[in-house]
Structure 1
Amino acid sequence: MTAAEQHWPAPTATDPVDAVVTVPGSKSATNRALVLAALASQPGYVRRPLRSRDSLLMADGLRALGIGVEDELNSSTGVSGGGDAWRVLPAPLGGPARVDVGNAGTVMRFLPPVAALADGDVHFDGDPRSHERPLGGVIDALRVLGARVEDGGRGALPMTVHGTGALVGGTVTVDASSSSQFVSALLLSGPRFQNGVEVRHVGAPVPSMPHIRMTVEMLRAAGAQVDAPEDGGVPDVWRVTPGALLGRDVVVEPDLSNAAPFLAAALVTAGTVLIPDWPERTSQPGDQLRDLFTRMGGSCELVEEGLRFSGTGRVHGIDADLHAVGELTPVVAAVAALADSPSTLRGIAHLRLHETDRLAALARELNALGGEVSETEDGLRIVPRPLHGGVFHTYEDHRLATAAAVIGLVVPGVEVENVATTAKTLPDFPDLWSGLLGAKG
């Protein structure tokens, strides 16, 4: 039986959870740090990185282009839990090369601009679902900036970037309403373009704007000059000046979005969870969990060790615009299905284009367990109903799997199809989840 065919019995909590959960590093920060280190003028370190399918695919993609990405498992750092690192050795980018993107949005969007700087052809392909995910914004932009890209007119994978060793750069207009990664992809490589890059967004509002803010902050930390709208610049226009990037020693923050199921566990079981090293200030969208789950009935405080979050015994419905934090939707929806009043989750039409159509999948799977969930034009309407056990299908989407685990805490008999898909961003999730409940993995 393959991993996809296996059903994982989601553990049911018999008592309020009381646990310390160390969340692995941020996928978003890890993959941005790897790209910036690869394009730097000196070697650098990415410490406490996430080692998951998505980040390993990014590291392998950079290696295919000629970059040295070396494991240093005994490296030292003063940050608690440190010791694991990648040493990144910049080198001339070259082909021919083949890059497997899997189903990682950051890999399929961030690496083509890097490949345009390579001397040689770079072919990109990935999982079947990757062929359906939007990529045309990046492809069209690269052509405007001087690259030659062969995609058979699909605006999607598979495709080949015919690198010439340099890219002119300049001004480009992009419709990033389907993914903020279109903007981040161009900004990250922009310092290496001959004329830098000016990215102008046109269209509906860009989703997940905190991720672009993360890109801007990490670029500036690496020595790049960036003009951004949120700093008083022109709305929907980002500019990166050409110049050398610094090789740095970067420590990756915990992935706050991946803390969602563990905080949800405290909320739905009236328990307490401590997430160590939660930053006081961060650009990660997952930091909004503190507000969302407090509004849904929990309480939290930043303490010296990290974030302590507790459930109060009541779970309330919520009316929330999740446009900027769409990745939190599956777990928020799971909690909403267990609440004492209805919820409306808005601003998330773009989730139909993620690892799967997340809105349709959530409605289908929660309803199959007895819920009452309906799709709206831009989100979900959730009316709590008594739930029962059953198989929760994940559609190879890691966030569907963690949402199902949350339901299983209070609904006996929930079986998660292909829980192994959580390895995309949260390695060893079943063991982490069992540890949360005081069980052995």
Structure 2
Amino acid sequence: MAPNPAHTALWPAPHASEAVAATVHVPGSKSVTNRALVLASLASEPGWLRRPLRSRDTLLMAGALREMGVGIEETVSSSSSGAGSPDGTGEAWRVLPAGLRGPATVDVGNAGTVMRFLPPVAALADGPVRFDGDPRSYERPLHGVIDALRVLGARIDDDGRGALPLTVHGGGALDGGTVEIDASSSSQFVSALLLSAPRFNQGVEVRHIGSTLPSVPHIRMTVDMLRAVGAQVDTPESGGEPNVWRVTPGALLGRDLTIEPDLSNAQPFLAAALVTGGRVLIPDWPARTTQPGDRLREIFTEMGGSCELADYGLVFTGSGAIHGIDVDLGDVGELTPGIAAVAALADSPSTLRGVAHLRLHETDRLAALTKEINELGGDVTETADGLHIRPRRLHGGIFHTYDDHRMATAGAIIGLAVEGVQIENVATTAKTLPDFPELWTGMLGV
């Protein structure tokens, strides 16, 4: 079979000849959109998602839920609730819960949220649901969800792999109860069980027994969204035991929810202001959020920029200098590729720590960043749990992406300052950030 042209094409990363000055409307959050789709599908009444992200990962989630019988209707309206796009209109998805059913076949692509959040949903379906996906999805850890569901009463065929492909034999209900898991490789194991838990007969008590827990803000996001639709959740932050979450069984409410901009996907645009000494406005940046990307304000300020959060959004301004940083990114690992790209252009070394789990993401992000930056003349060394980056003068070349959207945007950041960088398969950004090339060149006025 011939290779997909999009996977072999080289995209010349635009070089910035002057400071960036732009307003960038960042699409909705993937993390919020996919959680909201699951919760709306399990609710006792219809709900709305306004300004959802339309990307590969979210369309895979919507398609999978439709396969299991959920109605998801897409509309475009000019209501104020959907405002925010340049023409004043906003897309909305009407979610119509229904009896979950099989047989069904789910394509997870390489979306961690789909492959982990939906097996618990499938356990509630009436009939078998088969899960399959991209070749890389077979290598990503899923044992935490599979093993836990078996303890809670589900029947799953995975041929002992602890990974895809697999079939969940839904029985129309699930007992639930108490389960111990090791979520050291992904906090999504915890979120997956919590999202469906209100529909389990006994709810769930999830006890994390691993040595580390990455991306805790994503669990807080799950908890906040559960509470917003009427679920009762006890957490370590609310006075419960450390590393224990309890969800009480009960009906979930339908909501009319407007999805926040994806703050992690705002990263390359904020980085552009930092790298070029320019100014970027991201409209509608929330004053309060559980999105991990909000920490960019702190990190990029420490690296040489400044920011102002106003009612209309976030204004980030670069100073013309980029400083190295020593930072633990354990809670915000998805930001690592973009931070590494900026650090490669800094005036002093950087150490990025707490992200050993990135070896299990869309690709081995630590190995990929090391290889690609070094092949442009950089000096990056892998550590046990991160990267050490010593800035050097970089040169042009091909920046490979490994079908990883954040590798592609990292390469584009470097290309701002280094002429001749070519991004292989920039189309992979469609996983979470549709039309990235157009947004990027528009920001630069190209």
Aligned residues of 1:208 and 1:323 also touching (Cα < 8 A): yes
**1:127-146 matched pairs, under 5 angstroms:** 127-146=134-153
Aligned to 2:274: 267
- The equivalent residue for 1:392 is 399
**Secondary structure at the residue paired with 2:271?**
helix
Identity %, equivalent residues: 74
1:136-161 alpha-carbon deviations (Å, 9 max, x no partner): 00000000000000000000000000
Match of 2:72 among 69, 73, 78: 69
CA–CA distance in 2 between the matches of 1:270 and 1:78? 35
Q: How far does residue 300 in structure 1 lie from its aligned partner after superposition?
A: 0.3
- Residue of structure 1 aligned with 2:38, choices 28, 35, 38: 35
TM-score by length of 2: 0.98
Shift of 1:337: 0.1
Alignment of 1:58-207 (within 5 A): 58-74=61-77, 76-78=79-81, 80-81=83-84, 83-207=90-214
Q: Deviations over 1:259-302 (max 9, x none)?
A: 00000000000000000000011000000000000000000011
Indicate if the aligned counterparts of 1:170 and 1:197 stay in contact, CA closer than 8 A: yes
Per-residue CA shift, 1:48-85, capped at 9, x if unaligned? 00000000000000000000011011262336415211
Residue identity opposite 1:64 in structure 2: E
* Deviation digits for residues 1-31 of structure 1 (CA, Å, limit 9, x no counterpart): 6101100000000010000000000000000
In the alignment, which residue of structure 2 is the partner of 1:55? 58
CA distance in 2, matches of 1:74, 1:298: 37
1:16 corresponds to: 19
2: distance between equivalents of 1:78 and 1:148? Answer: 42
Q: Give the match's secondary structure for 2:128.
A: strand
- Quick one: distance in 2 between partners of 1:230 and 1:252? 24
Give the secondary-structure state (helix, strand or coil) at the position aligned to 2:266.
helix
Segments of 5+ residues of structure 1 without an aligned counterpart are none
Which residue number corresponds to residue 231 of structure 1?
Answer: 238
SS class of match (2:261)? coil
2: CA distance, partners of 1:227 / 1:188: 13
Distance 1:165 1:203 in 2: 31
Query: Is the 1:17–1:269 contact (alpha carbons within 8 Å) kept by the matching residues of 2?
Result: yes
Asked if the contact 1:118–1:164 (Cα under 8 Å) also holds between the matched residues in 2, the reply is yes
> Aligned to 2:127, what secondary structure does the other structure show?
strand
* Cα distance in 2 between the residues matched to 1:203 and 1:343: 28
1:421 maps to 2:410: no
Aligned letter for 1:164? G
Aligned counterpart, 2:319? 312
SS in 1 for 2:265: helix
Once the two structures are TM-superposed, the CA of residue 304 in structure 1 deviates from its matched residue by: 2.5
Measure how far apart 1:349 and its partner are. 0.1
Task: Verify: 1:294 aligned to 2:286, yes or no.
Answer: no
SS in 2 for 1:78: helix
Residues 327-366 of structure 1 correspond to what in structure 2 (within 5 A)?
327-366=334-373
Contact 2:129–2:170 under 8 Å retained in 1: yes
Question: How far is the alpha carbon of 1:359 from its aligned partner?
Answer: 0.1
Taking a change above 3 Å as real, the CA distance of residues 295 and 87 of structure 1, as seen in their structure-2 partners, is same
CA deviations on 1:364-395 (whole Å, 9 max, x unpaired) are: 00000000000000000000000000000000
- Paired position in structure 1 for 2:252: 245
Report if aligned partners of 2:126, 2:170 keep a CA contact under 8 Å in 1: yes
The one-letter code of the counterpart of 1:290 is R
- Confirm or deny that 1:285 pairs with 2:292: yes
Q: Which residue of 2 aligns with 1:321?
A: 328
Other structure's SS at 1:149 match? strand
User: Unpaired runs of 5+ in structure 2?
Assistant: none
Provide the residue aligned with 2:9 in structure 1. 6
Between the aligned partners of 1:75 and 1:213, the Cα distance in structure 2 is 32
Q: Which amino acid aligns with 2:431?
A: K
Contact (CA 8 Å) 1:16, 1:271: kept in 2 or not?
yes
* 2:51/2:82 contact within 8 Å kept: no
Distance 2:102 2:51 in 1: 30
Aligned residues between the structures: 439
1:44 is matched with which residue? 47
Residue 269 of structure 1 aligns to which amino acid in structure 2? Answer: T
- In structure 2, distance between residues paired with 1:90 and 1:66: 8
Counterpart contact for 1:75–1:85, Cα < 8 Å: no
2:315 counterpart letter in structure 1: R
Contact 2:81 2:258 in 1 (8 A): no
Distance in 2 (CA, whole Å) between partners of 1:167 and 1:46 is 27
Which deviations, in whole Å up to 9, do the C-alpha atoms of 1:219-238 show, x marking residues without a partner?
A: 00000000011121110000
